[in-house]
Amino acid sequence: MSEVPVPEAPAAVLPRVSARRPVLVAVATLVGAMVIGVSVGPADISLPTVFSALAGHLPLIHYHSHTSAIDWDVIWQIRLPGVVLSGLVGAMLASGGAAYQGVFRNPLADPYLLGVAAGAGLGATIVIVESSGVDVSQVLPFAAFAGAVGAVTLTYLVGVTSGRRASTASIVLAGVAVAALLTAIQTYLQQQHEPDLQGVYAWILGSLGSASWSDVTLILPYVAVSAVVLLLHRRLLDVLRVGEDEAGALGIHAARVRLTVVAAATLGTAAAVSVSGLIGFVGIIVPHTVRLLSNASYRVVLPVSMIGGAAFLILADVVALNVQAPAEIPIGVVTAFVGAPFFLFLLRSRRTGVL
Amino acid sequence: MSRTTRRLMLALAASTFGITAVGAATISTSLPSAATTSASTTSYPAHIAAANGTITIPSRPTAIVSMSPTATEMLYAIGAGTQVKAVDSYSDYPKNAPRTKLDALTPNVEAIVAYKPDLVVVAGDTTGLTAELAKFGIPVLSDPAATSLSQEYQQFDELGQATDHLAQAKAEVSKIRGQIKEIVAAAPRHSKPITYYFELDQTYYSETSSTFIGQVLGLLGMKSIADAAKGAASSGGYPQLSAEFIIRSNPDYIYLADTLCCGQNAKKVAKRPGWSVLTAVKDGHVVGLNDDIASRWGPRIVDLLRIVANSLRHHSST
């Protein structure tokens, strides 16, 4: 795929920034998070054992590992898919959040703005309450994904037909209305089926504790396509920041860019939440942290949020799985509990303009 | 009835009545109704010391509403079935019990009163049901989740006393005692405890050896892997485990109490990522149980024990 051609922006508006250093820092953080992710768990497997096991299973390396079959099983079937899935979901939620903030030019926008969360929640709830006596774990992701995509489609249709033209404001308002409606239906359904309340609740608060390689392969295509599209549009998001008329003057079809970016971010987010549940805060906290620590250009914010979001969620999952091990805390609770104070601290210590 | 509700009900019942139940669930012998009459009949008004205090039943009940699936099974087992007018939506055994839409978790007072009951049996009360029904002069007998077999036997006695079927209640208890003794005697002996993972739902909630079910399986010399979990005590014996914890514990046996609610079985367990290396999976020691029997403390506890004992016959390391 080729880069989307971007006209040169006025130098005064968009200072040339190097993305190299923030990206390197983010990658180092991600690698550290992954090491922690594979080596920390309720089963006490030492770090050397983990690496010896991984080395022993690398192709082309003739190294004999003494790890027991069970330990290897824990590392390969439980921990690694968990780390990879957390990484994919975190990358998607964080970069999706950054993209939404750019498109809607609103610092509080997150990937759930247009109804993804409400739709996914409704889809999952319907499956959980309407099917008693069967194993729903295989159907759940598809129902949540369908709900999420359906909700955003509804928002878009309502938004574009409600005003004289499809302004971002009318779409955001339509999103609020659709989310409220779907949440009402979802709440009604869960109250009608009290026996399933805990199942619904657990899904809504999010969990990556039972991640498997099949979850990874299920969402990988969506997340990959979405990530590529978002990264290709990172410069265009910078141009949109200066305003619609200015962007138009530069020969950019602002509405088309917005639609493409929102569609890609939504599709990826829908796939992510379909396997993870509704993990909040990642889409807001990670991009803003990146902005506060480096700079606000989307050339930097998008890729660094993507990598940083992966690292953040991997670490959040380590906390979720180990604080009360072997019991699991909902990861959505961890992201909010750890994320919110950290974000406030950053805001206070670095009073930089956000967006 | 889903797995999670059952756990919720157990937890509710345990937390509400756990402490009082131990001391109070004996039939008061100082009261004339219990002491002077023969063991076979109850004289009314009857005073019964139950988990929720001493309750007075003015006359032989003929319109009982049971809001507890276990109590429903017990009432029918002691021959009081004909006196039962309505049972809650989860009381699915025996099949001829008059099942209604009454919700045991959030009981609706008006709906219960509509049956004009003269006795309501519950497994716990978190919504003030007892006080509400008292306004209508309807006695409420609480038989919360038993924490031991002797508590289960006491509840049989209480229900027998309340419904004028004490002799049958005592007979049922001695039948259960005898069957349990027989099963345990016939079970193979092992030099070291057989370990097991007892699955309550797909989020790996489990039971320790000190729970009611844990004690019953303990009669066969079995030990739950959940005992070693950090939250074992604070969760009231029902901690949540993780796949990693279960795999690392490598239990000899896996018992699934989420077959009816969630369609789990040995084949599905073998297909779970990472579970194929487990000894229990490789040896074919993954046993599906009836969720309902495994979560109640009624007459069918014998069936559960028998299934578990039979599964041990194929155990190699005797």
pLDDT in tens, A148-183: 999 999 998 888 887 655 577 888 889 999 999 999
> C-alpha distances in angstroms, B280 versus A311, B92, B218?
36, 31, 18
Provide, rounded to the nearest whole percent, the portion of chain B with pLDDT above 70. 86
In A, residues 275-314, which contact B (CB 8 Å cutoff)? none
pLDDT for B2 beyond 70: no
Q: For Cα atoms A267, A268, A270, give the angle at the middle one, nearest 5 degrees.
A: 65
Residue A42 has its nearest CB partner, among B235, B245, B274, at B245
Identify the DSSP state of B188: P
* Radius of gyration (C-alpha) of chain A in whole angstroms: 21
Instruction: Return d(Cα B276, Cα B64) in angstroms, integer.
Output: 49
Q: Which of A70, A128, A322 to mutate to test the interface with B (most CBs of B within 10 A)?
A: A70
What distance in Å separates residue A240's CA from the closest CA in chain B? 45
Rounded average pLDDT over B114-128: 92
pLDDT for B308 beyond 70: yes
**CB contacts, 8 Å: B88 with chain A:** none
Residue B230 has its nearest CB partner, among A196, A324, A328, at A324
Chain A residue nearest residue B106, CA to CA: A194
**CB contacts, 8 Å: B263 with chain A:** 133-135
Any B CB within 8 A of A161 CB? no
Q: What is the pLDDT of residue B7?
A: 53
What distance in Å separates residue B253's CA from the closest CA in chain A? 16
Instruction: Return d(Cα A270, Cα A263) in angstroms, integer.
Output: 10
Any B CB within 8 A of A317 CB? no
Three-state SS string across B216-251, please?
HHHCCCEEEHHHHCCCCCCCCCCCECCHHHHHHHCC
What distance in Å separates residue A230's CA from the closest CA in chain B? 32
Q: What is the pLDDT of residue A61?
A: 67
Q: What is the pLDDT of residue A258?
A: 86
Q: What is the pLDDT of residue B245?
A: 93
- Token pair, residue A230, equals 């978002």
Rounded average pLDDT over B279-305: 94
Residue A327 has its nearest CB partner, among B8, B239, B243, at B239
Q: What is the mean pLDDT of chain A?
A: 84
Q: What is the pLDDT of residue A133?
A: 66
Contact A112, A285 (CB under 8 A): no
Rounded average pLDDT over A110-120: 90
Instruction: Return d(Cα B164, Cα B80) in angstroms, integer.
Output: 8
What distance in Å separates residue A90's CA from the closest CA in chain B? 22
pLDDT for B16 beyond 60: no
Rounded average pLDDT over A203-208: 84
CB neighbourhood size of A70 (10 A): 18
Q: What is the mean pLDDT of chain B?
A: 86
Q: Which of A190, A208, A324 to mutate to test the interface with B (most CBs of B within 10 A)?
A: A324
Chain A residue nearest residue B6, CA to CA: A195
pLDDT for A282 beyond 60: yes
**CB contacts, 8 Å: A203 with chain B:** none
Beta strands in chain A (DSSP E): none
Domains and CATH numbers, chain B: 3-178 (3.40.50.1980), 188-312 (3.40.50.1980)
**CB contacts, 8 Å: A213 with chain B:** 273
Any B CB within 8 A of A131 CB? no
Q: Which residue has the higher pLDDT, A68 or A277?
A: A277
Residue A198 has its nearest CB partner, among B4, B244, B263, at B4
What distance in Å separates residue A147's CA from the closest CA in chain B? 22
Instruction: Return d(Cα A98, Cα A92) in angstroms, integer.
Output: 10
Provide, rounded to the nearest whole percent, the portion of chain A with pLDDT above 70. 89
Predicted confidence band at B13 (pLDDT cuts at 50, 70, 90)? very low
Q: What is the pLDDT of residue B315?
A: 62
Instruction: Tell me the pTM.
Output: 0.80
Do the Cβ atoms of B264 and A196 come within 8 Å? no
Q: Which of B3, B4, B7 to mutate to test the interface with A (most CBs of A within 10 A)?
A: B4
pLDDT for A229 beyond 80: yes
Q: What is the pLDDT of residue B275?
A: 93
**Residue environment code for A264-293, b if the CB has 16+ CB neighbours within 10 A, otherwise e:** bbbbbbbbbbbbbbbbbbbbbbbbbbbbbb
Residue A199 has its nearest CB partner, among B4, B245, B247, at B4
Q: Which residue has the higher pLDDT, A205 or B170?
A: B170
**CB contacts, 8 Å: B260 with chain A:** 133
Chain B residue nearest residue A133, CA to CA: B261
What distance in Å separates residue A190's CA from the closest CA in chain B? 13
Residue B247 has its nearest CB partner, among A78, A198, A210, at A78
Beta strands in chain B (DSSP E): 46-50, 53-57, 64-66, 84-87, 119-122, 140-142, 194-199, 222-224, 253-256, 286-288
CB neighbourhood size of B66 (10 A): 32
pLDDT for A56 beyond 50: yes
In A, residues 138-157, which contact B (CB 8 Å cutoff)? none
Do the Cβ atoms of A137 and B202 come within 8 Å? yes
pLDDT in tens, B177-191: 999 999 999 988 888
pLDDT in tens, A298-341: 888 999 999 999 999 999 999 998 888 888 888 989 998 887 88
Q: What is the pLDDT of residue A267?
A: 92
Q: What is the pLDDT of residue A164?
A: 57
Query: B24-33: which pairs have CB atoms within 8 A and are 24 or more residues apart?
Result: B24/B49, B24/B50, B24/B51, B24/B53, B25/B49, B25/B50, B25/B51, B25/B151, B25/B154, B25/B155, B25/B158, B26/B154, B27/B154, B27/B157, B27/B158, B27/B161, B28/B54
Query: B170-179: which pairs have CB atoms within 8 A and are 24 or more residues apart?
Result: B170/B39, B172/B77, B172/B78, B172/B299, B176/B299, B176/B301, B176/B302, B177/B153, B179/B302
The amino acid occupying position A240 is L
User: Does the N-terminal peptide bond of residue A326 adopt cis geometry, omega within 30 degrees of 0?
Assistant: yes
Beta bridge partners, B142, equal B122
Pairs of CB atoms within 8 A across A/B: 101
Any A CB within 8 A of B248 CB? yes
**CB contacts, 8 Å: A79 with chain B:** 244
Predicted confidence band at A250 (pLDDT cuts at 50, 70, 90)? confident
Any A CB within 8 A of B242 CB? yes
- The ipTM is 0.75
Predicted confidence band at B207 (pLDDT cuts at 50, 70, 90)? very high
Predicted confidence band at B30 (pLDDT cuts at 50, 70, 90)? very low
The dotted CATH code for A23-349 is 1.10.3470.10
Do the Cβ atoms of A74 and B239 come within 8 Å? no
